[in-house]
Amino acid sequence: MGKKFLESSLEEELKRGNKLFIPYVMAGDGGIDTLITTLKKLEEGGATAIEVGIPFSDPVADGPTIQEAGKRALEKGTTLRKVFDKLIEGRKEIGIPLIFMTYINPIYKYGVERFFDDCNKAGVDGVIIPDLPLEHYDLVKQPSKEKEIAIIQLATLTSPLERVKELASVTEGFLYAVTINGITGTREGFAENISRHLIKLKSNSPVPVLAGFGISSPDHVRSMSESCDGVVVGSKIIDLIQKDSFDEIRELIGASKTGAFHS
């Protein structure tokens, strides 16, 4: 488990000729006891890894769908401690990497060293912290390295080339390419220059580049994957889990597999 497990899992999937597909779930949406079952269903559906959101009262990067999922989870009494406990209990049932998506405030409140120690115990392989700029990376650098937990950086559409190179040089596991200017949520379309942006990131990154934010259809998955290594899908997955539409989730994931795209 840990950073090496995340990196090797992504590498193996790409070697098979597939693109990477990372669905996002909100821990505790539907109650904490549903978490392991949901993760298993996503793994069975072909997910490469799974991003697990930690509910937080002030999620600055999240759109309405993920905000609402977070509210439902908080109303069910979900806490970071309960998420760790549930994973410690059931992680062995999941055979793919798990990545936390959380904000710096809950990590700080929990205790930075204790957080990464418990990530290690719970089999969390990487962490995305969207409100932690590179300038403050030192807040988590040492404890995450000691426990071998990947810290995944985000590059935005407005990141200049120098910034992209800086982010790509320190990101671990993959580089998260934000595909829209704004918060998460499903979109009908993307900026015309998006493929150019993804190709720029890809040509400057030593690790895979995954596109995320706004991806909501098999066509989106295919078109984004032509310019990078795969996708992260959040709001659409939350919607489909709410409707218990795992067939549609499998269809989305299937769009990332060999033969589904032209690269």
Quick: pLDDT tens for 55-100. Answer: 988 766 677 889 899 999 999 999 999 999 999 999 999 999 999 9
Per-residue pLDDT tens digits for 117-150: 999 999 999 999 999 999 999 999 999 999 999 9
Pick the closest to residue 97 from 154, 23, 169, 28 (CA basis). Answer: 23
Distance between CA 223 and CA 214 in Å, rounded? 13
Catalytic one of 7, 13, 51, 118? 51
Q: Residue 75, Cβ neighbours under 10 Å: how many?
A: 11
pLDDT digits (tens, 9 = 90+) for 151-199: 999 998 888 999 999 999 999 999 999 987 654 444 444 556 788 889 9
Q: How far apart are CA 125 and CA 116, in angstroms?
A: 10
Which domains are seen in the chain, by residue range? 3-254 (3.20.20.70)
Q: Which residues pair with 210 in a beta bridge?
A: 176, 230
Q: What is the pLDDT of residue 134?
A: 93
Among the options 7, 62, 118, 125, which is catalytic?
Answer: 62
Q: Which of 154, 112, 160, 109 is nearest to 129 (CA)?
A: 154
The pLDDT of residue 261 is 53
What pTM, to 2 d.p., does this model score?
0.93
The predicted structure's pLDDT at residue 251: 95
Q: Is-catalytic flag, 51? A: yes
How many C-beta neighbours within 10 Å does residue 11 have?
Answer: 13
